Structure 1
Amino acid sequence: MSKPILLLVDGSSFLYRAFHALPDLRGPEGQPTGAVHGFVAMMKKLREDIGAEHAVCVFDAKGPTFRDEWYPEYKAHRPPMPDDLRLQIAPIHEVVKLLGWPLLEVPGIEADDAIGTLARIGAESGHQVVVATGDKDLAQLVNADVSLINTMAKPPERLDVPGVLEKFGVPPDRIIDYLTLMGDTVDNVPGVEKVGPKTAAKWIAEYGSLDGVIASSDKIKGVAGENLRKALDWLPMGRRLVTVKLDCDLAGHVPQWPTLEALALQAPDKPGLLDFFTRYGFRTLKRELEAELGGGAAEKPAPAARPAAGTTGDLFADVEPPAEAAQVERRYDTVLDWAGFDAWLARIQAAPLVALDTETDSLDPMAARIVGLSFADKPGEACYIPLRHSGPDAPEQLPMDEVLARLKPWLEDGSRPKLGQNVKYDLHVFANHGIAVQGYAHDTMLESYVLEAHKTHGLGALAERHLGRLGLSYEDLCGKGVHQIPFAQVDVAKASEYSSEDSEMCLHVHELLEPRLQADAGLDFVYRQIEMPVSLLLARIERNGVLIDAARLQAQSHELAQRLVALEQQAYEIAGQPFNMGSPKQIGEILFNKLGLPVVKKTATGAPSTDEEVLDKLAADYPLPAKILEYRGLAKLKSTYTDKLPQMVNATTGRVHTSYSQAVAVTGRLSSNDPNLQNIPVRTAEGRRVREAFVAPPGHVIVSADYSQIELRIMAHISEDPGLLKAFQDGLDVHRATASEVFGVAVDEVTSEQRRYAKTINFGLIYGMGAFGLAQSLGIEQKAAKDYIDRYFTRFAGVKTYMDVTRQSAKDLGYVKTYFGRRIYLPEINGGNGPRKAGAERQAINAPMQGTAADLIKLAMIAVQKALDEAGKRSRIVMQVHDELVFEVPEAELDWIRTEVPRLMAGVAALKVPLLAEVGVGANWDEAH
């Protein structure tokens, strides 16, 4: 007689997978529902496939667990849950119960520990236990009575005792040892440095267990042995952290504990489900349930094309995503001879649009060299040309130089439309080989960014979200971590499948996304006239780089080091003892336990917070928090800039080359990375000194051009407030004009204090600041702040109308728009809790202005570069920082730049108020700013 089945679902493990596998689905109120759709489909399919008598869906509870007490840094680096997913937790819990599943959350322990305890009890009570999870840590539970199933894997994966051994190289009873040696970067649990899966499995096989490895640590040679010996003191704690508890007391959480009577699967609550499906817009499931409750057959629409068997499309068969492209039959060629090359060259020369992709030996765009190329001229059909694959099994390949020489005329022909995913990177790669690619017409990353900036834009995510296709990942070919091999060592057949798939999947995604852009004139303008041209221009700016004075930065580092030592000593004297200035835990003990300072707020684990906001508040009344803040600011400046920038000078160009991320900020702003040039402090003397190190070469000057009060001007334009419009149209000091209205005095009688108040009000209202925030900013009573705001809105009624209308529009649509039509989605405007909803409302007011400012500076970049090229000037844009463009200008061209750049920047849009760009000149960035 077969044993009854106990099915344990790791709800926390599947939350993220469901969230990322589905498109950006929205309910009737604009609330995100993609993860809810995925979860419903998963739970229905598990119930059908497993046939369990008892089951439970287990989630992590909020708050700290016993592991946080053991190790305060546990999971400290884990990023916060995406807002769109967090909003779906409550409905997921609700629908799980409505579907008849028991649900379990136990404060103080993790879902894994509840699952481990239930698995033990289930096996002891005669059940065959099946754990549905994607978490490798739970492999330690597997035995003759417990197995794992991962329905999200491709193909679905079931692990019994032999399966664990085959997958991990160790049996289930050694998984804890295996995990301890490797550590877990996701949970911030250190292991032995540079020890990955293969080394961990090898050591355990050789020495029998973790204890055997520890006992034999002096026998293990090389760097690995040294790292193991360094970690010996830590390993017992590491083992403790990765061990799933099997003896948790679930009394009070599982009725009739320790029996499993309460975990019997129940019949679905069909009336409750009908109400749920109505509220969250599950149209197909609602129709089917209505027909079932009414005794009739549901009328189903014609089925859309679905993903191939074995993909997540099977799991989400009941989900209603947007229309999907039909699946395609794949035909990939590996080009190893000139006949094959000539055939594909003729194809791409004749094609109306070609997707191309580079495989390289580096992620550094300035250093990456080509390993192979792929091309696709229609979905499903592509080729890969391997050029630098090595290894004993690598076939003979066509000579790279000759291949690139024969492709160069087509690549540099601007009349031949091309497509890519993140084309800026490929532009750099080809430039490293002396090829200036022209004709890039589309970029799927940017298409996705313009359509849904709040989602992820990697090609794999796009293909899964929009096509239901699951492609190969880089890790599938090259592995992970220290065991990752270079792409040049990948088997050519596998490399060909991977790269060909990237190109043709890129083309496939484009065919789906482009019509969606064309259907909205605003989004189409943002994509074609802003984002695509800016992408090509950013590649030029990044290659230009900026010259820095490394010696000056090194001198600043030395001075900062001396100041940090002095600040440490001053802090020790105030505290009455030395402590680690970089340790939040020790700072908290000094501030709150020893000195008795008031606790402003607490962390998620319940400990008093020592973040910057807390220290800033305490610094107003206490000296030590002020010293710690000053120390943190200088230490960050030193480590991030004065120490690091000289090391980032490119050996070939002698310059620093930042990378601008275009598809990150939902407002359209660019972000700068490696190094981040946008976060150098401008309000501190030390930050300005760092800017002094950004210099012009001999015979040149640095020119800075930025928009004046750009967001206030945009506010005047979109609110159409007569008072603001007149102030800007008459060229008045807008803060002085505001003060005149608010305080009821003549413009020439406004005091400096009144102007300061007006400036704070002007900028505060742009960011949705209320009376409480204004009172804090000005250091006045909240009632007085409210009076100022009321007076402001009385005098500038158009601003108040704009805010009210915008808030309501954001609630109705779920997004706001910039002047040019960019959409900025606000998922919490309807679904968030009180504080988060209020934050979304403030963002609704500010986002159109911040987004329009981002669009304007991008249009300015395009216009200025076009004029520079047409005039044959040698001046170059070397940086873009928020609303500012920074140029390196030959002295002979300075007059032209001073005249033309402000004119061009002011002319990129016809607002109801004039745009004003101001120019500064100097030998370095600080002087010019």
Structure 2
Amino acid sequence: MEKIVLIDGHSILNRAYYGVPDLTNSEGLHTNAVYGFLNIMFKILDEEKPDYFAVAFDLKAPTFRHKLYEQYKGTRKPMQEELRQQVPVIKEMLTAMKVPLMMLEGYEADDLLGTVAKKAEADGLEAVVVSGDRDLLQLAADHIMIRIPKTKKGGTEIENYRTEDVMEKYQVTPIQIIELKALMGDSSDNIPGIPGVGEKTATKLIVEYGCIENAYAHVEEIKPNKARESLRDHYDMAQMSKELATINIHSPFELDMEQARMTDLYTKEAFELCKRLEFKNMLSRFEIDQSEQNQVAESFHVTSDLQQAGEWLGQLKEEKQIGFFLLSDEEKAFRGMAVSGANDTFFFCKQGFLTEGYLTSALDELLQTAEQAVTIQLKEQMHFWKPAESVRKKIRDAAIAAYLLNPLKGEYPYEDMAKDYLATMLPGKTELLGKSKIKDLDEEDKILSAVGCYQSYTALHAMPVMLEKLKAEEMDSLFEEMEMPLVYALSAMEKAGIRADAGILKEYAGELSEKIHQLEQEIYTDAGEEFNINSPKQLGLILFEKLQIPGSKKTKSGYSTAADILENLAPEYPIIQKVLDYRQVAKLKSTYADGLASFIGEDGRIHGTFHQTVTATGRISSTDPNLQNIPIRTEMGRLFRKVFLPKENWIFIDADYSQIELRVLAALSGDEALIHAFQNGIDIHTLTASQVFHTPLDQVTPLQRRNAKAVNFGIVYGISAFGLSQDLKISRKEASEYIDSYFASYPKIKEFLDRAVADAKEKGYIATYYHRRRPVPELASSNFMQRSFGERIAMNSPIQGTAADIIKLAMIRVDQRLREEQLQARLVLQVHDELLIEAPKEEEARVREILHQEMLGVTDFAVSMEIDIQSGSDWYEAH
């Protein structure tokens, strides 16, 4: 028998939306429902292998049921915006796959599914109907199977129903499902049923009488009394409910079976839409011919011959604009060079006379003659090549431009740039390589050259489009004058590295091991037994059952021993403070004492990696290792800075912006009171304490100042009364009064923050003083928590982002001055608002002058920046 599969579109889309965590693509479009729908669809189609396939959707127009009963489906909440925007997308995808969509005004999807399924059955076909709606069980028959997906941990489970399955589960035949609904109603569709009759009583009545008409004919025999009176008094409601629940299997809809015949779903249009939606793991289902997929590869030329290379390089010298990419493998070994002109891209294999030195020198020559050059991930290529100072301003990095245009993505591969800015679908690096690695490919391998050529081609051709967008969004200066020069400062920092003493680390590891052992023994003594302190389950049992400490609720997995719960209890229970200390010391040992040692290179220095295209606020981040995360809140954590030493007979000079975010807040808000305080050297936390707690300035207590400091920084991060109450261990009412009093003291700050949220809601983004944009899609969410998070982002991003921009400009200026004056001193580390310089002792005075001039000269705000400069024989002493 031939088979038809029919899907209830809205039902499965809705189920997928609530079953798959929120996903968005780089355009900010929510995609989780579409993604989940396709996964369910592919699973069904793979299992059923049908001959025909169609998907039914409801339309907005009222149906005959609404005319019968105005309140039909009246209790349903409006569709969430994140789901609503995905309805046209799934329809677009199905249309791209050439799947017919079944829709008819005045009828629901259920009616169309019932009509088509019953006709298919009559025509001798097997029908499979897929829906999350159990109303459709009334259609189940020997040749009609209803499949109901259920989301469970680890994937989707599907329940299957034919006639006998319905009878086994519900004790009635499929058609009698309608009778049940007539009596018990259906809250999801707002079908009333009759009062006082639930599923159990309804089932009992239908098993006994078969239908509501027969039950009504024997109404005086019905027990219990309540059901008898309800049916007798409300039989008209039961009749109406039955009509509402009955799927119309004779609706005036006819499916064109030829259009519904299964063909290849994996069309070029569907492939392109999958790429746009960024469903990368679905792309393997498509067998798209690479030559058809893009004509770009036809312009690629590959050589390992010196003479041919010379001819091509001569040809490229005539180009005004070039794209380039120095290809390295997974171990950072150079493998070849791609260079693009207006029409052709050339790949020069590293082989024979085409050495790394020959090819990088050839690139230097090309950069001298070209007016502009573009690449992707310039800093990574500078591991084995350093562009001359004279050509640096000619080079642009397309990945950084893409980051500025959409800072939420985190990754900027060339295929995404080609899709976003060239409307071209290119095979990505992962697609090209499959399970191969670049280091395993030989020089003549086409895949090797293709990886390099696509990077170079995309960089050159996408950059003009990106520059136009940057200009339109007022970020061209940010790109040219901040982000591009920063690449060279970061590269120099990575190359310089920072010296770390493995011996001191080993000593600390030993000391921390002793401390861990000591804390373990004290905790065991307090607990009265030994247990695994690292096991939340065992710890929870000891603290909250054996020791009967109140304050944590038991869940299925046991008692919560999260930090916030333990921190609230620590002041009263010494064992809990010891557990917190144990966790802190154990982390210091594993992450820093043991972890940092593995990053020390043969030169005795740690060469971390700094990222400028990761954080949405514009802050620089670091990895391998994350040196920005060296703890400073505790003395034990701060001691790790003693591990970092300058060269022999050199010193560290550390310059730290003082209260940069509060100064930025004062400048951007224009609040006179805050500006006056900074201009006149008044301690801002003492002033805030004086105003919030109505205390004379000279009578502010240390506790009041500490609390005011929490309020000052909390305001910067959009803190709520609840958050402040948790931080200060005070009531929410008291915290709310602090915040109100703060805003009364600094009214323009309140105006500034409110305006930031309003602007972000209107425009969809928030901007820093230097025009860096941060999209805030959370503000459009139907979820209250997400919207609240979006409001905090809107308040904080202009402040934190502007501070990040200032430190970037300071880094560039300091780095350039040190080079211009040909000093040996060099920038080795940046940690948020702090710059660390390694310098010969005799250069200290000059370096201090440069730091002072350049870091303070970055801004022209009404509030001047302040810096604290210290020096020392290790990082601890210098900070």
1:925 to 869, 872, 875: 875
TM alignment of 1:329-408, pairs within 5 A: 330-363=298-331, 368-378=332-342, 381-387=344-350, 398-401=353-356, 403-404=358-359, 406-407=361-362
- Give the residue type in structure 1 aligned to 2:657: Y
- 1:686 Cα offset (Å): 1.6
Q: Secondary structure of 1:581's partner?
A: coil
**2:326–2:381 CA contact under 8 A, matched in 1:** yes
Q: Does 1:497 align with 2:456?
A: no
Q: Which residue does 1:174 correspond to in 2?
A: none
> Counterparts of 1:4 and 1:37 in 2: how far apart (Å)?
22
**1:448–1:457 CA contact under 8 A, matched in 2:** yes
- 1:829 Cα offset (Å): 1.6
**2:348–2:354 CA contact under 8 A, matched in 1:** no
- 1:549 Cα offset (Å): 1.3
**1:7–1:52 CA contact under 8 A, matched in 2:** no
Q: Which residue does 2:426 correspond to in 1?
A: 471
- Give the residue type in structure 2 aligned to 1:442: R
TM alignment of 1:213-362, pairs within 5 A: 309=268, 312-313=271-272, 330-362=298-330
- 1:87 Cα offset (Å): 7.8
Cα deviation, 1:165-221, whole Å, max 9, x if unaligned, reads xxxxxxxxxxxxxxxxxxxxxxxxxxxxxxxxxxxxxxxxxxxxxxxxxxxxxxxxx
- 1:733 Cα offset (Å): 1.4
- 1:498 Cα offset (Å): 2.6
2:535 to 583, 607, 616: 583
Q: Which residue does 1:268 correspond to in 2?
A: none
Q: Which residue does 2:720 correspond to in 1?
A: 770
> Counterparts of 1:621 and 1:900 in 2: how far apart (Å)?
51
> Counterparts of 1:855 and 1:50 in 2: how far apart (Å)?
58
> Counterparts of 1:507 and 1:638 in 2: how far apart (Å)?
47
Cα deviation, 1:316-365, whole Å, max 9, x if unaligned, reads 9999xxxxx997573110112233212321233222222222222335xx
Q: Which residue does 1:88 correspond to in 2?
A: 82
Q: Secondary structure of 2:268's partner?
A: coil
Q: Does 1:661 align with 2:611?
A: yes
- The Cα RMSD (Å) is 4.6
- Give the residue type in structure 2 aligned to 1:581: I
> Counterparts of 2:624 and 2:558 in 1: how far apart (Å)?
33
Q: Which residue does 2:792 correspond to in 1?
A: 842
- 1:853 Cα offset (Å): 0.4
> Counterparts of 1:381 and 1:35 in 2: how far apart (Å)?
39
Cα deviation, 1:606-644, whole Å, max 9, x if unaligned, reads 765433333323434434443332222222211121112
- 1:467 Cα offset (Å): 3.7
TM alignment of 1:603-622, pairs within 5 A: 608-622=559-573
Cα deviation, 1:829-861, whole Å, max 9, x if unaligned, reads 231522222222122111111000000000000
**2:671–2:747 CA contact under 8 A, matched in 1:** yes
Cα deviation, 1:747-794, whole Å, max 9, x if unaligned, reads 333332332232222112111123232233223333333333222222
Q: Which residue does 2:775 correspond to in 1?
A: 825
Cα deviation, 1:431-478, whole Å, max 9, x if unaligned, reads 5x9999845521111111111101242223333344444433444454
What TM-score do the two structures reach when normalised by structure 1?
0.67
In structure 1, the gaps of 5 or more residues are 26-31, 58-85, 103-121, 133-145, 147-239, 264-306, 320-324, 389-396
Matched residues, percent identical? 32
Q: Which residue does 1:2 correspond to in 2?
A: 2
**2:350–2:443 CA contact under 8 A, matched in 1:** no
- Give the residue type in structure 1 aligned to 2:327: E
**1:806–1:816 CA contact under 8 A, matched in 2:** yes
> Counterparts of 1:260 and 1:475 in 2: how far apart (Å)?
50
1:709 to 630, 655, 659: 659
- Give the residue type in structure 1 aligned to 2:406: E
**1:705–1:920 CA contact under 8 A, matched in 2:** yes
Deviates more, 1:857-866 or 1:344-353: 344-353
- Give the residue type in structure 2 aligned to 1:499: G
2:690 to 699, 718, 740: 740
**1:703–1:928 CA contact under 8 A, matched in 2:** yes
Q: Secondary structure of 1:737's partner?
A: helix
Relative to 1, partners in 2 of residues 1:335 and 1:806: Cα closer, same or farther, differing over 3 Å?
A: same
TM alignment of 1:473-872, pairs within 5 A: 473-480=428-435, 484=437, 486-489=439-442, 492-521=445-474, 523-598=475-550, 608-651=559-602, 653-872=603-822
> Counterparts of 2:783 and 2:483 in 1: how far apart (Å)?
34
TM alignment of 1:844-923, pairs within 5 A: 844-923=794-873
> Counterparts of 1:127 and 1:564 in 2: how far apart (Å)?
68
Relative to 1, partners in 2 of residues 1:257 and 1:468: Cα closer, same or farther, differing over 3 Å?
A: farther
> Counterparts of 2:485 and 2:523 in 1: how far apart (Å)?
51
> Counterparts of 1:539 and 1:503 in 2: how far apart (Å)?
21
> Counterparts of 2:720 and 2:784 in 1: how far apart (Å)?
15
- Give the residue type in structure 1 aligned to 2:531: F
User: Which has the larger Rg?
Assistant: 2
- 1:920 Cα offset (Å): 0.8
Cα deviation, 1:409-447, whole Å, max 9, x if unaligned, reads 42674965321111110011325x999984552111111
**2:16–2:36 CA contact under 8 A, matched in 1:** no
> Counterparts of 2:159 and 2:686 in 1: how far apart (Å)?
69
- 1:249 Cα offset (Å): 9.7
**1:712–1:763 CA contact under 8 A, matched in 2:** yes
- Give the residue type in structure 2 aligned to 1:648: F
Q: Secondary structure of 1:728's partner?
A: helix
What TM-score do the two structures reach when normalised by structure 2?
0.70
Q: Which residue does 2:27 correspond to in 1?
A: 24
> Counterparts of 2:588 and 2:717 in 1: how far apart (Å)?
27
**1:42–1:315 CA contact under 8 A, matched in 2:** no
Q: Which residue does 1:443 correspond to in 2?
A: 397
- Give the residue type in structure 2 aligned to 1:403: Y
> Counterparts of 1:243 and 1:796 in 2: how far apart (Å)?
53
- 1:511 Cα offset (Å): 3.0
**1:740–1:747 CA contact under 8 A, matched in 2:** yes
Relative to 1, partners in 2 of residues 1:857 and 1:95: Cα closer, same or farther, differing over 3 Å?
A: closer
> Counterparts of 1:903 and 1:866 in 2: how far apart (Å)?
13
Relative to 1, partners in 2 of residues 1:313 and 1:625: Cα closer, same or farther, differing over 3 Å?
A: same
Q: For this pair of structures, how many residues does the alignment match?
A: 702
**1:430–1:437 CA contact under 8 A, matched in 2:** no
Relative to 1, partners in 2 of residues 1:739 and 1:7: Cα closer, same or farther, differing over 3 Å?
A: closer
Cα deviation, 1:532-561, whole Å, max 9, x if unaligned, reads 111121001110100111101110001111
Relative to 1, partners in 2 of residues 1:765 and 1:41: Cα closer, same or farther, differing over 3 Å?
A: same
**2:322–2:340 CA contact under 8 A, matched in 1:** yes
- 1:703 Cα offset (Å): 0.8
**2:814–2:851 CA contact under 8 A, matched in 1:** yes
> Counterparts of 2:798 and 2:761 in 1: how far apart (Å)?
15
Q: Which residue does 1:417 correspond to in 2?
A: 372
**2:375–2:455 CA contact under 8 A, matched in 1:** no
- Give the residue type in structure 1 aligned to 2:325: D
> Counterparts of 2:369 and 2:672 in 1: how far apart (Å)?
47
Relative to 1, partners in 2 of residues 1:436 and 1:627: Cα closer, same or farther, differing over 3 Å?
A: farther
